[in-house]
Each structure stands twice: as structure tokens, then as C-alpha cells.
Structure 1
Amino acid sequence: MIGYYVHHQGRGHLHRALAVQQALDEPVTVLSSLAPPTGHPGDWVHLDRDDLGIEPREPTAGGRLHWVPVGDDGLAARMQQLSAWLATARPRLLVSDVSVEVALLARLHGVPVVGVVLPGRRDDAAHLLGFDVADRLVAMWPPTATPAMLPGLPARVVRRVEAVGALSRQPVCEPAGAGGRRPGPPRVVVLGGAGGSAISAEALAAAMRSAPGWEWQVCGPPGPWVADPHALVCDADVVITHAGQNAVAEVAAARRPAVLVPQDRPHEEQRVSAAAIGAGGWPVLVEETFPSDGWAARLERAAALDGRRWASWCDGAAAQRFAAVLAGDPVGAPA
């Protein structure tokens, strides 16, 4: 049996866990502060939140960890819940997606750890500790992108990273040819994220006015939340999105060209990711901030990019490769 720790921020961690669970041949227990999705078939351990206190004290333990605020009742309860489960369930291994503290706790219980590696500048002491205690490290991008996705990380860590390709919860959808395009004006989908959006409603309205020949569909902040925008993304001529791993994977699986507008996240996660994707030959334009004008020409440039070039980023087999890592098998690179 495998334990899979799912961080509660965003939804990419959860989507990965569910996809990998389906690809595995052994039971998986999810441990998370999130509620289980409706109809979830496996075991789920609900953890107390450790970030609801006021003015956390010494949360990094002198820079050695990321989040261990002194005197926080939620942290104490959360760690007790994890420790009790580790001691009684005795999992074969634990996936940490993502927490240095959870990885360290599992290893202190004698449980092997597979750590998920996120993009960004992660050469701080806490990240290095998490990487070093993990038995294997898995990343959701193609192997060729690893150096650019992890700038500044020591070579001893980089060479341990097993990149399995971008993991989408949706199957790859090859774009239809010119004869299969739906009638009507070109369509752009703005794909927001569960972690919020830096795009204001005013800037978005101005962008729409600057490209009146396009049909705009907004999914997520600053528009209404859409739990599964897959059909809309597949039907788009261009997707505008942030540079979160889950959003990029969904766009790549749909083989749609994109305009990436990275948002500020810890460790420069999205900015590093967007820069690496933009420089790697994948079908994107990158804007450091969301422009409020000039979208007619920008969307035309993006629409001219070949969405099929996403195949080397996301080929639809990442969940199976991740499952092979958890089974202890060698992992081949994406085609």
C-alpha cells in the first residue's frame, strides 16, 4: 500500500494523485487537508490545516524547513495524524506532493519517500533537505527541460530527477485539420486557476475590446470557476493561461497554442516554468504581465503556432511512468 500526500494549495497536486492512483495496481491512501472528490474509490485521511493561525512565529525553523510555526495547534494535530497513520498503516512508501516536512516525517518513521519536484529556484536549505531524504525524485516535464526548470539546483540533485513528462488528467486530443474547424469567429479561452488570478476584470475587459474579432470565453478567476474546462480548451484557437503545471499540462494535452502569463508564486515557480517553456520550442508566447491592449495581433501570432509541438511536453503517458517509479521500475523518457 502507498500513501500519497496531497498539498491543499491549487489543484495540480490532487489531479496528479488521482491520475497516478488509477494507473497503479496497488491500494493508495491519500492524505490531505482537501476533501475527497465525490465518488473517490480509495481511502482518504483528512488532515487538519496548519496555516490558519494568526501571525505565525518562526515558521521556517531558522531556514531549515518551510512551514513549522511555533505553538500552532493545527500543525501539532496534523503531524500527530500523519504520524499515527504512518505507524499503524505501515505503507510501502509515501509520495510527498509536496512537503519537506511530510517527507522528513515519513523518513523518520522508516518509510521510503518519493518526492515530487516542482519547477523554480529550489536550492534553499529546506528544499535540499527534502530532496536528500527522498529515495527517488519525480518531475512532471520532459527530461530535456530539467536544467531550465530547476536553475541553480546542485548537479547531485538534478541528476536524480526522473522527468516523466507533463501529467494531464485528460487524454491527448489531436487538433482537427482545417476542414474540421467549427464555423464562426476564432475563439480564445482564458484559463484561470484554483490558486487565484493576477488578471483584473478591468484589464481583461480592455483586452477583449482590443480584439473584437475574437470570441472570448473566461474559465476561472476573474470569471466564473469551471471545474472541467477540457472541452472548451480543445475547442479554442488560442488559450491564455498562467504557467501552473496543471494548466500547462491541460493545454498541452489539448494541443492548443497558448499565451502564458506567469503569476508570482513562491520560489519563482511560474516565472521559471514559463521562461523554460518559451525558450524550449513549445507553442507558446510568454508575457511577463497581462497586457491590456494589442491582443488582436498577439492572438494571431499565437494561433499561427503549431499545437502539435506540445507532443514532446505531454504525450499522455506520464501517469503510467510515474506509477512505474512507484513500482520501483526504470522509467523511460517521453517520446
Structure 2
Amino acid sequence: MGSGLEAQKALIPNSIDLIFLPIDTPNQQDRDFMDQNLEGLHYAPLNVSGQLERVNKITSFLASHPKLLFVIDVSVEIAMLSRLCGVPTIVIRQHGLRDDLPHQICYRNAAGLLAPFDLQMSGPGPEWVNEKTFYTGGFSRFAPSADTSDVSKKQVAVLIGRGGTSINGQFLDYLSSQCPQWTFHVVGDSQHLSHIHNLQFHGELSDPQAILTECSIVIGNAGHNTVMECASLNKRFIAIAEERPFEEQEEKARIIQKLALAVHVSASEIFDLDWKVILENLVTTHPNWSGFISSDAAERAADYLRQTHRTLFQHH
């Protein structure tokens, strides 16, 4: 269930039931809307009709599906709502500074925590959080493989994500003019038109693996899927960390740089760096992502969820 599922519909098998939730932000009719700084919650504004409908839809679903284990991707409030209904939750761990009160309450009251990465990639945090977490190991849509790119060809893939990024036309022009010997293959939705000879635009690709395989360096944001795809293909990676809630990308980029797997760059400094030097230094390195990807991670996650369900509903 979620509020943006329509856009993903084509990717989701027909065997999976989709529950479309109304959005919980105020519309023009919500004239009495009030948002406040809350204790113990991140987001629970007053007088938002969509939010009331959303909660009603979720609780009606929970009431009609007893013996349910609810896996919750990001929302502390939905995890708390589920617990108030007496429905056990598994909360997905994410990177970032999650030591605030709402996250601590949410993690404490969950039946379990699931991290879609390896323990080595876990950031600093309370020991009880680590002990409560099942680490699946990393996984992506690409099968793990060695990097077979030819560094002498000086090819770089630039991935433009969807969640808001500083990798825009101005930056692409700056990067490519600083490094005229390198060719930059841009993958993603770029409206930018450039006549710089070493910039090649490939647009949105459903499968960018062929381009990533050819390139000896990947530049992208430090979102989870991008990091895991670079890990699967064992790529030299420059992680541009964008501003996100709880410093999620900053922390992930810091961790992988500390593990000598990537170069961490903050979005605020991308116009202050000597990219030519960065690329030339990086191409001499050989990151080893092998311990960070598990070919059976998705199956391990499924087994963990089934086992937790069995433990919670022994008489079912």
C-alpha cells in the first residue's frame, strides 16, 4: 500500500494486490490545516481530510486482515498506528541519524527491524538497534559481476535520480568542460541541451546496465538503489550526497568512503572541486564491493518475514 503506486503499476506483478492511499498533505479545501512541531511524531498535522481518509483506509484494511505482519518502509506514524491496532510491524532500516525520539519509539515497538544492506554498512547507533536488526546483505536488480571496463577509454556514467538532485545541466557543463579527455554518458531525465562534445545523453533507460558496464567510473547520488547497483557491478563510484531528511545520503556516503568503496562529495561543494584530479586518482583504485552484495539477499529477507510471522502467530 502507498500513495504513489500508480506510477509503479507496470513494474508490479498482477499477483500482488495494490492498495492506493490518498495523499496526507493539505489540499485547498483544508482551510483549518495546522502543522506543529510534535513530540514523538514526525508528521501529524491537524485538519487534513486526506490524512483522515488515509488512516481510515489503513485501519479498515488491518481490521479485515487478522494475522497480518505489516512491513513498513519509512513512516514512523504508520508503524505506530499499526501497533495501536495490535498489528505487529517490521520496520525497514534506513541510513541517516535516526536517534530522534519518534524513530527510537518506532524501533523499540517493532516486532523486528530489517536492513536491506550488510552489517558493515550500518552506521553508528545504539547497540540494541543492531541486535534487533536482520541484515539481508545488499542486493540490486543487477546480478553481481566483476568490473570489466577499460580504464584507458576514460568513460564515465552520470546517473540522474528522481528524488531531487544537484546533478543538473549547469553541473554537467562544468564537469565535462573541466575534463575534456573524458566522455560522460548521462542516464536519466535531463532536459538539458548541451553542445559540449564529450557529453552524451541517453535519457531515461529501463536498463542502464550496458552503459554502466562500459564505464570505469560512475557519478551519482548516494540513494540506496544507486549505491547497491554500483556495488553489484563493482564500480568505482563518486557519491554526491544530497540533502535528505535525517542526513540519509550524507551518512551513507560517509560510510562507503570510510570503507574505501567510494568518494564522498557533498552536493554543496560540486562546483569547488577539481574533477579532473578526482577522476584520475579514482581510476587507479580497485574497490572491492564483494562482501556488500548477497546474491540470496531477497530470499533471506522473505525467510526472515515468514519466520517472524510463524513466531507471532503460532496457533494460526
- Shorter-chain TM-score category? 0.7 to 0.9
Tell me the CA shift for residue 39 of structure 1.
Answer: 5.6
d(CA) in 1 for partners of 2:3 and 2:259? 29
TM-score w.r.t. length of structure 1: 0.79
What residue number does 2:61 align with?
A: 85
**Does 2:60 match 1:75?**
no
d(CA) in 1 for partners of 2:280 and 2:222? 20
Percent pairwise identity:
26
Q: CA RMSD in A?
A: 2.4
What residue number does 2:140 align with?
A: 168
Tell me the CA shift for residue 155 of structure 1.
Answer: 2.7
Letter in 2 for 1:138: L
What residue number does 2:196 align with?
A: none
Q: Does 224-233 or 234-243 show the bigger shift? A: 224-233
Q: 2:155 aligns with which of 187, 192, 208?
A: 187
Q: Is the 8 A contact 1:100 1:127 kept in 2?
A: yes
What residue number does 1:133 align with?
A: 109
Q: Is the 8 A contact 1:35 1:46 kept in 2?
A: no
d(CA) in 1 for partners of 2:257 and 2:152? 30
Q: 1:278 aligns with which of 257, 280, 286?
A: 257
Q: 1:48 aligns with which of 22, 25, 35?
A: 22
Structure 2 unmatched ranges of 5 or more: 192-202, 309-316
Q: Give 1 or 2 for the bigger CA radius of gyration.
A: 2
d(CA) in 2 for partners of 1:315 and 1:323? 14
Q: 1:261 aligns with which of 216, 220, 240?
A: 240
What residue number does 1:226 align with?
A: 205
**In the TM superposition, what whole-angstrom CA distance separates every residue of 1:280-332 from its partner, at most 9, and x where no partner exists?**
132x111223246632221122222224x111112332212211210227xxx
d(CA) in 2 for partners of 1:167 and 1:36? 22
What residue number does 2:90 align with?
A: 114
Q: Is the 8 A contact 2:26 2:49 kept in 1?
A: no
Structure 1 unmatched ranges of 5 or more: 9-31, 330-335
Q: Is the 8 A contact 2:2 2:20 kept in 1?
A: no
The 1:130/1:53 distance shift into structure 2, 3 A limit, reads: farther
Tell me the CA shift for residue 259 of structure 1.
Answer: 0.7
The 1:67/1:186 distance shift into structure 2, 3 A limit, reads: same
The 1:215/1:132 distance shift into structure 2, 3 A limit, reads: same
Tell me the CA shift for residue 197 of structure 1.
Answer: 0.7
Tell me the CA shift for residue 161 of structure 1.
Answer: 1.9
The 1:298/1:35 distance shift into structure 2, 3 A limit, reads: closer
Q: Is the 8 A contact 2:35 2:45 kept in 1?
A: yes
TM-score w.r.t. length of structure 2: 0.84
Count of residue pairs the alignment pairs up: 291
What residue number does 1:208 align with?
A: 176
Letter in 1 for 2:34: R
Kindly report structure 1 stretches of 4+ aligned residues shifted beyond 4 Å.
Answer: 5-8, 32-35, 181-184
Tell me the CA shift for residue 133 of structure 1.
Answer: 1.6
What residue number does 1:21 align with?
A: none
